[in-house]
Amino acid sequence: MTATFPEDFLFGTATASYQIEGAVNEDGRCPSIWDTFSHTGHTLNGDTGDVACDFYHRWESDLDLLADLGVDAYRFSVAMPRIMSVEGGEPNPAGLDFYERIVDGLLARGIKPIVTLYHWDLPQYLGDKGGWLNRDTAYRVAEYTAVVARRLGDRVHTYTTLNEPWCSSYLSFGGTEQAPGLGEGPLSFPAVHHLNLAHGLMCQAVRAEVGEGPELSVTLNLQFARGDADAVHRTDLIANRAFLDPMLRGYYPDELFAATRDLCDWSFVKDGDLEQIHQPIDVLGLNYYSTSLVTMSERPQFPQPVCATTFPGCGDIDWLPTEGPHTEMGWNIDPDGLHDLLVRVWDEYRVPLVVTENGMACKDELVVEPDGTKAVHDADRIDYLRRHFEAAARAMDEGVPLRGYFVWSLMDNFEWAFGYSKRFGITYVDYETQERTPKDSFNWYHDVIRSRSVA
């Protein structure tokens, strides 16, 4: 079977600032919560983003790599610490210049820039004031958004407000795996709300600066759970509808308040907030990797530990081991989950969709071929991508307006708490020399884009 994609479908790859840029002390950039987190023993092997892929210096040849790949679009993030580098001060011209060069460099190569405004690298000075627990953070991030949009304007194809607010709230305040790693379950909820508020304010800031031209979006990593109906319903409520409903429908479900009654009173939701949050967007970005398997258990609510992550409001749910095969992250491979998720979100929310991330961490091995060239034969990654592209195409055949697909990631990079141990790239990065080697999956993807089909 061959799955085909329309001419105007956006094939791309995705990255994020802290994961690739390095140059953390250059041109006025201030520290972010991820610099602090990675420098204080929260990552595997003590890895940090200090150098990462050195994209800050190698951006031109990396954009050439994108051009070789033939992508229609490139999704990258702007680092707020490069722009609002001094608390309360003027925007940093060097930071704005850098991202303007990226945008112009992409356009010169015929590639549409998709800008994520917040991919987790909050300035540490805002982290010091509570980060996403502090309502003021939403306003500071919206101000920064206006500065970026004013400068980059309508050269940007799509402005994405937040990447995965589920991670910036639950994993960061409820759990300990992401910065600042507080591990205080119920504190997830004010973070959820302030991120939602930031999204709404950021949407308004972009529109005020650039008008109707560029598209507006947000990227969510919805949790697609299978298992018994009650547990699936609750997981969906806490993980997904806590973002989808305020952003796309203008309310928090009453059920959410009921399910979390013993954990927080939601008094941080102020009059008028939901009107601010509920802004029209053009496309909804979904990051999809795997599914989970859940069941109700007899255990009491939080603070009982739940699976690997603290997940308040789901204290009576058990996460069961999923059926294999699993990727190097330990995530199960479930392409049908992508199909089902796309169909479900379209059915319920009626907003055009983009897969803003999908990809696989593999045990990649760099080999030297008889002719001396280097290669990575990542057949398992190609198989993973092929099956997920097919699942997406099936959803499109059933009427889901899917506008694009971004492979995570253009190149191996700093995988947050896992440091450099997990390779998601379709380009291999030798971190000693910074040499880039396109993997077999790169060449495979090149052919997919050129033929606009997956065989």
Q: Does 47 bind ligand GCO (CB under 6 A)?
A: no
Q: How many residues bind ligand GCO (CB under 6 A)?
A: 11
- Binding mask 166-205 toward ligand GCO (x if CB under 6 A, else -) reads -x--------------------------------------
Among 38, 43, 160, 163, contact with ligand GCO (rule: CB under 6 A): 163
Q: Does 55 bind ligand GCO (CB under 6 A)?
A: no
Stretch that binds ligand GCO, among 65-73, 161-169, 247-255, 259-267 (CB under 6 A): 161-169
Task: Tell which positions 2-21 bind ligand GCO, by CB under 6 A.
Answer: 16, 19
Shortest Cβ distance from residue 221 to ligand GCO (Å)? 5
Tokens of residue 26, six digits: 């250059």
Per CB under 6 A, does 221 bind ligand GCO? yes
Does 121 bind ligand GCO (CB under 6 A)? Our answer is no
Report, in Å, the least distance between residue 232 CB and ligand GCO: 21
Give the footprint of ligand GCO on residues 285-344 (CB under 6 A).
287
> Per rule CB under 6 A, is residue 408 in the interface with ligand GCO?
yes
Q: Which residues are catalytic?
A: 164, 357
Interacting residue with ligand GCO among 424, 442, 444, 445 (CB under 6 A): 424
Q: Does 32 bind ligand GCO (CB under 6 A)?
A: no
Contacts with ligand GCO, residue ranges (CB under 6 A): 16, 19, 163-164, 167, 221, 287, 357, 408, 415, 424
